[in-house]
Amino acid sequence: MDRILNFKNLSLRVRIFLSMIFLTLIASILIATVSIYQFRKEAREYHQDRLERKETAIAEHINYVLFTDNAKNYYYPLTPENIPLIFKDKIYEISDVHSMEINFFDLKGNLLISSKAIFKLDADKPKINPSTLKIIQSSLEKRYVEFSNVDGKTYRSSYSYLKDNKFKPLAILNLPYEEDTEFYDNELQNFLIRFGQVYTFMFFIAIVLSYFLSSYITKSLKIISDKMQETQLNQLNEKIVIEDGSKEINLLIRSYNNMVDKLEESATILAQSEREQAWREMAKQVAHEIKNPLTPMRLTVQSFQRKFNPNDPEISKKLDDYTKTILQQIDTMTAVAGAFSNFATMPAQQNETLNVVRIVKMALEIFNEDYIQFSALEEEIIAKLDRTQLIRVITNLVKNAIQAIPEEQVNKLIFVTVFRQGDDVKIAVKDNGKGISKENQERVFEPKFTTKSSGMGLGLAIIKNIIENYNGTITFETELNVGTEFLVSFPINK
């Protein structure tokens, strides 16, 4: 603190002098930092490109052995078990030609054959790490590059699928690659030595120039400094008038006066930008509100198409139910569009006396997933709610539950339960998905927060607002890799 006070007590000329020296030092550090970063970046890009070129050339060579050489000379069936036989001798030839170690693993990560000598007495055979194997299997390109450091050296290990002529996976090709950065390290060291020599000379020149410049510009700089401190965006700023200033100071004054003129224009543009931002935020919310009904409408049509049977004795009733669902969603979109056109709020609540059990069951019929289960402790629980908003709450929670379960998961379950508890009707939506991480639990209901690659993160925030407008509550319990349960509570107002 004492050092800060002492610096403030220095004269303006001394402070400008010290500031210019400090800026010179900072500039040199930044230049050196950027140069080091650039050298290392070029080294990484070089090794990345070199590995990709090697990988492409080796893949072409391997495909030639599989589809041409093997067919002509040996004709082993293209199966994972025959990979060691097909490449029994060829793997050493390919490794020598391309100067790369080559390993073939089966689809479970066990080593099939390697160009590196492996002793039969070795207790631990090379094997792909399970986490790495999972990444390879889940990637779109079926390719993954793993980085590791051993004894201060960086290694890249490329993994990619080897497929037969029907694109069926046969094995996993592994190409270990060592990054040799000696050349770039030497170049960087030589650059830093030359840079240090030049910078030392420039630093002494900067000290001399800083001393004279700080003394010269201090005379008029105080006036400019005071005016700049008074400059604000939300007021009319005065221009500076100095007749006997130097050429550089006059140029600075003209720049300041031009800045004052532009500041007034910027204030107008800023106000317009704020209005446009408000418009964009409203547009995002409206888009989300319109998207919510579209999904149930699509699912309803698909469900009707799948279940349609002209000979069903209840076909008229089912057609009536499907028609009502579509019309409800169309009414919702109409209400949203009307509210947006008037810059008003989202559609107002249209409360009606309805059977919550029946409405929830009807909302679930639009989903095609057969692992969604519904149960109710009573056949009828009457409450005063908005039908479309209740359907929106259910469809949003069930859709989130479906998305929370990984596609590759075998046993998928979603339980939707409706029951009465005191003067409240409870709706529980429980899934056995991946759960919510601890750091995200407090942000689940925040607008614009989402862990998905698509969507704007408004769904839970909107339905929370709907529920709270009825003096209801929404809570959740979650456990990682076990599942999540959302519990919605509405007061029963008969």
Q: What does the pLDDT look like over 127-164, one tens digit per residue?
A: 888 888 888 888 888 888 888 777 767 788 889 888 88
Q: Are the beta carbons of 230 and 44 closer than 8 angstroms?
A: no
Predicted confidence at residue 425, as pLDDT, reads 93
Find the mean pLDDT for residues 51-68: 84
CATH assignment of the domain containing 336: 3.30.565.10
Predicted confidence at residue 343, as pLDDT, reads 38
pLDDT digits 0-9 by tens, 9-41: 666 667 777 777 887 788 878 887 887 788 778
Residue 331: both structure tokens together: 């009414």
Q: State how beta strands 103-105 and 111-114 pair.
A: antiparallel
pLDDT digits 0-9 by tens, 301-315: 777 777 777 777 777
Flag whether 478 is in a domain: yes
**Residues 445, 297: one domain?**
yes
Predicted confidence at residue 145, as pLDDT, reads 86
User: Taking 70 as the threshold, does the pLDDT of residue 2 lie above it?
Assistant: no
**Residues 173, 304: one domain?**
no
Dmax (CA) of the chain: 100
| Residue 412: partners with Cβ closer than 8 Å, 6 or more residues away | 369, 371, 405, 432
**Residues 63, 167: one domain?**
yes
Q: Are the beta carbons of 175 and 100 closer than 8 angstroms?
A: yes
The pLDDT-based confidence of 5 (bands split at 50, 70, 90) is very low
Find the mean pLDDT for residues 401-429: 91
User: Taking 90 as the threshold, does the pLDDT of residue 417 lie above it?
Assistant: yes
**Residues 292, 409: one domain?**
yes
- What are the residues facing 419 on neighbouring strands? 426
Find the mean pLDDT for residues 177-196: 76
User: Taking 50 as the threshold, does the pLDDT of residue 1 lie above it?
Assistant: no
Report how many domains make up the chain.
2
Quickly list H helices, 154-246: 182-230
* Cβ-based neighbour number of residue 16 at 10 Å: 20
Find the mean pLDDT for residues 282-299: 69
The pLDDT-based confidence of 238 (bands split at 50, 70, 90) is low
Find the mean pLDDT for residues 245-259: 72
**Residues 20, 137: one domain?**
yes
Predicted confidence at residue 375, as pLDDT, reads 93
Q: Is 99 helix (H, G, I), strand (E, B) or coil?
A: coil
Q: Are the beta carbons of 480 and 369 closer than 8 angstroms?
A: no
- Out of 155, 184, 213, pick the residue that ends a domain: 184
The pLDDT-based confidence of 178 (bands split at 50, 70, 90) is confident
Find the mean pLDDT for residues 352-363: 91
The pLDDT-based confidence of 222 (bands split at 50, 70, 90) is low
**Residues 170, 285: one domain?**
no
Predicted confidence at residue 22, as pLDDT, reads 80
Q: What is the mean pLDDT of the chain?
A: 78
What is the side-by-side strand order in the sheet with 111-114?
A: 111-114, 103-105, 169-178, 153-163, 143-150
The pLDDT-based confidence of 447 (bands split at 50, 70, 90) is low
Predicted confidence at residue 465, as pLDDT, reads 84
CATH assignment of the domain containing 141: 3.30.450.20
Q: Tell me which residue has tokens 């002492």.
A: 6
Q: Is 171 helix (H, G, I), strand (E, B) or coil?
A: strand
Flag whether 205 is in a domain: no
Predicted confidence at residue 454, as pLDDT, reads 47
First to last CA, the chain: 68
**Residues 327, 445: one domain?**
yes
Flag whether 75 is in a domain: yes
User: Taking 70 as the threshold, does the pLDDT of residue 247 lie above it?
Assistant: no
* 330 or 113, higher pLDDT: 113
> What is the domain extent for residue 163?
14-116+123-184
Flag whether 6 is in a domain: no
- Out of 159, 184, 209, pick the residue that ends a domain: 184
**Residues 399, 291: one domain?**
yes
Flag whether 228 is in a domain: no
**Residues 342, 449: one domain?**
yes
Flag whether 243 is in a domain: no
Amino acid at 256: Y
**Residues 321, 468: one domain?**
yes
* 415 or 176, higher pLDDT: 415
**Residues 413, 304: one domain?**
yes
Amino acid at 210: S
Flag whether 220 is in a domain: no
- Any idea how long the chain is? 494
Predicted confidence at residue 181, as pLDDT, reads 67
Predicted confidence at residue 70, as pLDDT, reads 62
* Span of 87-96, 201-210, 240-249, 451-460 with lowest mean pLDDT: 451-460
Predicted confidence at residue 452, as pLDDT, reads 61
Find the mean pLDDT for residues 56-63: 86
Alpha carbon distance 104, 119 (integer Å)? 16
- Out of 166, 184, 202, pick the residue that ends a domain: 184
* 485 or 186, higher pLDDT: 485
Residue 435: both structure tokens together: 């759960």
